[in-house]
Amino acid sequence: MIYYEQYGDPNRPTIILLHGAMAVHTFTQQYSLLKDYHIVLPHLYGAGKSVEILYEPEKLSQEIVELIRSLNKPKVGIIGHSIGAQLAVKLVSDNPELFSFAVFFSANICPNEKTIQMYCKFAPITVKLLRFNWIVKMQGRYWNYSKEQANDMVAYAQKITEENYKAFFTETLNIINLPHFYTVSVPMLAICGERESKDIRESLKLLGENKHCNVATISKAGHDFPMRNAVKINPILIEFIQRLI
């Protein structure tokens, strides 16, 4: 089974947090917000304790389903960011009976070939930069990570390979392959930043075509808004969750 951390009382309602690519503590600014819930944080392939596993969304989705079922809860909530949000869309589409609600932050579900080629082109440079501890630590501070969280990212960043970095983009899930998403009646919320890429802003519109999925845009925010814009996003998130749990 996939490695995971858990926090809080297991007898409380469970929320699964699916972090972004290479960023286990994407939700560092939401941990205290969710302190009254049982939080389960899987380490997705290519990061943390799963850093040496090649990112394969199909296999990863199966492992997350197995993890959820092992919790023996009637239903769980799920919150994902970036690739974690992509996975959340797939999980809710394929297994709606498992979820009480779903939140998608910056889900890119309409991949653009030119964008994929661009990131793959710069993969060798990006991976080399991840070998510089001071750069990774600086990124952690920018994301409001604690010292411990930043040091943890430094440790596993040394093991991120060019192959796995490319897979985060070449394996982007496509909503075309998840037509059943539009029949899902689970309460959903999709959010992106005003300054995000065109691909992600278009994805937000597509998610909003499901009448059970509310959508919102955070003004003056980029892709890392869960870490950088908690003051704006946290009230929206907790109000949505408290209505459902």
| Average pLDDT estimate for 214-226 | 97
Q: What is the pTM of this model?
A: 0.97
Is residue 136 very low, low, confident or very high in pLDDT (cuts 50, 70, 90)? very high
Q: In total, how many domains does the chain have?
A: 1
| Amino acid 221: pLDDT | 97
In a domain, 134, yes or no: no
Mind listing the pLDDT tens digit for each residue in 51-75? 999 999 999 999 999 999 999 999 9
Closest CA to 21 of 219, 224, 234, 216: 224
**Does position 207 have pLDDT exceeding 90, yes or no?**
yes
Closest CA to 208 of 122, 137, 59, 107: 107
CA distance 229 to 233: 6
| Amino acid 162: pLDDT | 97
In a domain, 237, yes or no: yes
CA distance 105 to 85: 6
Q: List C-alpha distances in Å: 58 to 20, 24, 43, 184, 242.
A: 16, 19, 15, 19, 31
227: tokens are: 């870490």
Mind listing the pLDDT tens digit for each residue in 144-176? 999 999 999 999 999 999 999 999 999 999 999
- Expressed as residue numbers, the domain containing 191 is 4-111+173-242
In a domain, 9, yes or no: yes
DSSP secondary structure letter of residue 105: E
| Amino acid 245: pLDDT | 83
| Amino acid 168: pLDDT | 97
| Amino acid 20: pLDDT | 98
CATH number at residue 16: 3.40.50.1820
| Amino acid 90: pLDDT | 98
Give the gyration radius of the chain's Cα atoms: 17
